[in-house]
């Protein structure tokens, strides 16, 4: 593939940023890559693994680049953008990989210079592990990646960012920031809230039960090993949508509880069969 | 290993019953095995795969056997035991693999002849798939298997059933039926209720969100593809414990919701960190 961005900078060379740099370099989409971060050990790993060519601790030293990928935790992205803004040259495309888009996209469109087009992006991949050490060039293969253009988004920058994610194997979709935040509240944020809460409740009430853990508990609580600070910030950044889907989920679970409590076998069957059909559609869609 | 049961009958040659027969034969723990079931195609598969030597549709034709494994759905086990009872010879050990123990163990101790020792067992393994076709000799390797002896349990039969499960690679534990049902309500029944309800709620409210499904949603809803009738019966058979843990879980999730709603970052962090520590202990315990 032709190089899309000759000089790229990745701010936050963790699982997502590192995997993107690795995949984009292998696909020939990135030329030279600068890794920006605070952790010296992590940057050294990124350099040693060939994820980046050059590293710096300072956003000011990012130099003349064609693309900046903000791959830092959600809460820090606006502050990083503000710090970065005076050092960007005109024409540099800026994108992010944040799990919440409404607040970030709105803020970044205000913070960044008009001459630097911004495209919000969210690759839906990852794991409970983190750092350049676990970066994986195949992480995005077949994974959804949501782009969240607005009325202000530059069409050419949007196309290039779309080509980047397609080039690393992602299945690219476009949604408004609000649509994205609502969908992700369901498919990711609520899933994490449930995993944390289920683990927390067992641990607080009946920790001996963990000895009976089978594959279903292990799988459904795997993400409770994710970084608490990162997830606290995602819950807070997307609070309205997260609270709404928590409420809807709890109401649904209460409905199942009522059916069990009253011994209503037909109602239980109806709910379980509808869920199984939906789950089968999810598998088929892959 | 020495043969533990020269002639065994497995009633219900599905994923669990079929995998046990396969593993026990490979380990030399079972001699000849009769498969009992209603589905002709499934019995033919079991025969073709060498899971059993002989098949029958009729419990009356089980013949003189040293062991009967009741590997049928929870709700049908007491009725099967009642049908089987007149045809058992003295000394035949009877065991089951049901996911709920309180009701089954109590009933079977009454239904079965005093000369036929009963040992309740629950191997915690499986998947959302079913049938002899997916039976797997390695299914129980490293998996917990809970035996639920009572004051009436024959010590020698208990030892033999323990040796059987250890012989197929399971990590055997002993609990009272009530302890088992409470632990499994947490680690399996609630997990399934959540998976069904989460899938049901998304499908009913926001089905387009499924397009954004990442690994966390896929993993945590995998078991929503499980057999609805089987799970309806498990929820009903263990209703008191299931309802109690549903309530405790919902209260915990509400606590997290309150913390998000009021923007209490410290409280969110505290909950997420406690959950992560518990999840790490669960991984370490494997």
pLDDT at B164 (0 to 100)? 98
Instruction: Tell whether B125 and B145 lie within a shared domain.
Output: yes
How many domains does chain A divide into?
A: 2
Beta-carbon pairs below 8 A across chains A and B = 321
Q: Report the distance separating Cα B285 and Cα B144, nearest Å.
A: 11
pLDDT at B167 (0 to 100)? 98
Helix ranges, A168-264 (H): 177-184, 190-205, 215-221, 228-237, 239-261
Q: What is the pLDDT of residues A75-131, one digit of tens each?
A: 999 999 999 999 999 999 999 999 999 989 999 999 999 999 999 999 999 877 889
- The enclosing domain of A52 has a CATH number of 3.40.50.720
Q: Report the distance separating Cα B15 and Cα B144, nearest Å.
A: 16
pLDDT at B286 (0 to 100)? 64
CB contact under 8 A, A212 and B184: yes
Instruction: Tell whether B128 and B263 lie within a shared domain.
Output: no
CB contact under 8 A, B254 and A254: no
Q: What is the mean pLDDT of residues A22-40?
A: 97
Q: What is the pTM of this model?
A: 0.89
**Could you list the residue range(s) of the whole structural domain that residue A272 is in?**
179-285
pLDDT at B1 (0 to 100)? 61
Q: What is the mean pLDDT of residues A45-69?
A: 96
Q: What is the mean pLDDT of residues A27-43?
A: 96
Please check whether residue B210 is in contact with residue A285, taking contact to mean a CB–CB distance below 8 angstroms: yes
Judging contacts by C-beta atoms under 8 Å, the chain B residues touching residue A247 are: 257
Instruction: Tell whether A132 and A185 lie within a shared domain.
Output: no
How close, in Å, is residue B14 to chain A by CA atoms? 18
Q: Report the distance separating Cα B104 and Cα B124, nearest Å.
A: 17
φ, ψ of residue A97 to 5 degrees: the values are: -130, 25
Instruction: Tell whether A157 and A183 lie within a shared domain.
Output: no
DSSP state of A88: P
**pLDDT at residue A1 above 70?**
no
Instruction: Tell whether A136 and A214 lie within a shared domain.
Output: no
Q: Which of A132, A158, A175 is the last residue of a domain?
A: A175
Helix ranges, B85-227 (H): 102-111, 155-167, 177-184, 190-205, 215-221
Q: What is the mean pLDDT of residues A17-23?
A: 98
CB contact under 8 A, B212 and A265: no
- The enclosing domain of B264 has a CATH number of 1.10.3660.10
Instruction: Tell whether A149 and A224 lie within a shared domain.
Output: no
Q: Report the distance separating Cα B131 and Cα B258, nearest Å.
A: 44
Render B11-50 in DSSP notation, one character per residue.
ES-SHHHHHHHHHHHHTT-EEEEEEE-S-HHHHHHHHHTT
Q: Which of B158, B175, B192 is the last residue of a domain?
A: B175
Please check whether residue B8 is in contact with residue B24, taking contact to mean a CB–CB distance below 8 angstroms: yes
Instruction: Tell whether A27 and A128 lie within a shared domain.
Output: yes
SS3 A9: strand
Query: How confident is the prediction along chain B (286 residues), in pLDDT tens digits per residue?
Result: 689 999 999 999 999 999 999 999 999 999 999 999 999 999 999 999 999 999 999 999 999 999 999 999 888 999 999 999 999 999 999 999 999 999 899 999 999 999 999 999 999 998 778 899 999 999 999 999 999 999 999 999 999 999 999 999 999 999 999 999 999 999 999 999 999 999 999 999 999 999 999 999 999 999 999 999 999 999 999 999 999 999 999 999 999 999 999 999 999 999 999 999 999 999 988 6
Give burial (CB, 10 Å; 0-12/13-18/19+) of A190. buried
Instruction: Tell whether A98 and A9 lie within a shared domain.
Output: yes
Probe site for chain A from B274, B278, B280 (most A CB atoms < 10 A): B278
Please check whether residue A209 is in contact with residue B187, taking contact to mean a CB–CB distance below 8 angstroms: yes
Probe site for chain A from B139, B140, B216 (most A CB atoms < 10 A): B216
**pLDDT at residue A272 above 70?**
yes
CB contact under 8 A, A246 and B253: yes
Within 8 A by CB and 6+ apart from A120, the residues are A95, A96, A98, A101, A104, A105, A108, A147, A148, A149, A150, A177
SS3 A36: strand
Please check whether residue A123 is in contact with residue A16, taking contact to mean a CB–CB distance below 8 angstroms: yes
CB contact under 8 A, A212 and B173: yes
Q: What is the pLDDT of residues A250-271, one digit of tens each?
A: 999 999 999 999 999 999 999 9
Looking at chain A, the number of H-run helices and the number of E-run strands are 11, 9
Which among A230, A215, A219, A211 has a CA at the least distance from the CA of A195? A219
Strands A93-96 and A118-119: parallel
CB contact under 8 A, B206 and A200: no
Please check whether residue A285 is in contact with residue B227, taking contact to mean a CB–CB distance below 8 angstroms: no
CB contact under 8 A, B278 and A231: no
Instruction: Tell whether A106 and A160 lie within a shared domain.
Output: yes
Instruction: Tell whether A201 and A159 lie within a shared domain.
Output: no
Judging contacts by C-beta atoms under 8 Å, the chain B residues touching residue A260 are: 235-236, 239, 242-243, 246
Judging contacts by C-beta atoms under 8 Å, the chain A residues touching residue B173 are: 211-212
Within 8 A by CB and 6+ apart from B284, the residues are none
Instruction: Tell whether B125 and B160 lie within a shared domain.
Output: yes
Q: Report the distance separating Cα B43 and Cα B58, nearest Å.
A: 12
SS3 A153: coil
**pLDDT at residue A286 above 70?**
no
Which among B182, B187, B122, B185 has a CA at the least distance from the CA of B149? B122
Instruction: Tell whether A248 and A154 lie within a shared domain.
Output: no
SS3 A239: helix
Q: What is the pLDDT of residues A124-159, one digit of tens each?
A: 998 778 899 999 999 999 999 999 999 999 999 999
Q: Which of B175, B200, B226 is the last residue of a domain?
A: B175
Please check whether residue B125 is in contact with residue B143, taking contact to mean a CB–CB distance below 8 angstroms: yes
Within 8 A by CB and 6+ apart from B266, the residues are none
């Amino acid at each position: 593939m032709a190089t899309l961005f000759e000089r790229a900078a990745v701010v936050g060379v963790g699982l997502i940023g590192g995997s993107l740099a690795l995949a984009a370099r292998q696909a020939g989409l990135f030329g030279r890559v600068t890794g920006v971060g605070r952790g010296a050990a992590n940057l050294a790993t990124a350099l040693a693994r060939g994820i980046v060519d050059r590293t710096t601790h300072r956003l000011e030293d990012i130099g003349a680049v064609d693309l900046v990928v903000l791959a830092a935790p959600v809460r820090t992205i606006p502050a990083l953008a503000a710090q970065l803004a005076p050092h960007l040259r005109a024409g540099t495309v800026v994108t992010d990989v944040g799990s919440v888009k409404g607040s970030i996209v709105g803020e970044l469109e205000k913070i960044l210079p008009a001459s630097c087009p911004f495209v919000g992006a969210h690759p839906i991949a990852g794991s409970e592990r983190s750092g350049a050490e676990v970066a994986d060039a195949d992480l995005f293969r077949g994974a959804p990646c949501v782009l969240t253009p607005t009325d202000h988004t530059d069409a050419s920058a949007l196309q290039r960012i779309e080509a980047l994610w397609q080039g690393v194997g992602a299945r690219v979709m476009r949604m408004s920031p609000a649509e994205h935040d609502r969908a992700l509240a369901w498919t990711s944020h609520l899933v994490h809230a449930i995993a944390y809460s289920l683990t927390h409740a067992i641990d607080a009430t009946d920790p001996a039960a963990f000895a009976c853990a089978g594959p279903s508990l292990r799988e459904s609580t795997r993400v409770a090993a994710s970084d608490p600070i990162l997830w606290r910030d995602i819950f807070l950044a997307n609070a309205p949508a997260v609270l709404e889907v928590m409420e809807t989920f709890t109401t649904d679970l209460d409905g199942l509880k009522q059916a069990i409590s009253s011994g209503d076998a037909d109602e239980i069957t109806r709910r379980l069969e509808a869920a199984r059909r939906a789950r089968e559609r999810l598998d088929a869609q892959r």
